[in-house]
Structure 1
């Protein structure tokens, strides 16, 4: 009896730990916002409409998972490079988030914000067939062809300012 109870507690603990890695898809009435820093320098962010004040570390990605929205919402953003980088670039603009969707933006040089063309159905969902997923974040204007090594050597075409998610079925 004691061993069964202990096994039950251990399995419950493991389930809680595994649940932390579960993908979070935006529910109705909320949106998600992802910001990618492509600079080797921190970027200070202020989004007053969403009560966000955050410093994005060099090459960091930040996710805001539960932003309230009815249909779509425009968010003012102020961003500036950290003074320690020797560059005082600033950016003021507007982001758009939409109900039940993920909006992804990338900071590019000179300091500006580029909307990412997100490709790949159900980007945050795990594969239903157990295949690994590969995410490619590409920030240049030219297209790029990526060839993966494997039994079939699949080729992936990546376009400008794109976030591509694909399943590797090998």
Structure 2
């Protein structure tokens, strides 16, 4: 007799389908260790959030996010990993409501006297916190290169040279290499 199938989890429509693992509600016992490490990772990111913030357009509050549990937390991290690999954040994570409260003792008819508050997606802000925490620890994706002290743009050139030397040792030929530098060493003088 086979086990009954669990229903698919219902998440906001802007989250991509989970391609890196099965639906979190259908996770088996083999993924228990992975789920524990993911819940620790999400819990660490949640500890840096201000839980008094209001939810964005998706309606998911920090109280909901804090009570995700292991399985949805794993799904969230798969969504984060998918976003990191593809280099794009889902549009729903970037949408928000703007609330314009008036600054004290100011004119109602002028826009500059309003303070715009953006109510963004809590899941999007959680992803942002994870990216920021990794950047503070100098943990970057391979696509994220640039003028950073521990991970500079020369790393790509060294990786290319290493790849060509390894291919040459295996008697493979690299037909062409194109390097384009567009003002890489421009220094901006901020003193006036």
TM-score, with length taken from structure 1 = 0.25
Q: Which structure has the larger Rg over C-alpha atoms?
A: 2
Give the number of the structure whose residues are more often helix, by fraction.
Answer: 2
TM-score, with length taken from structure 2 = 0.24
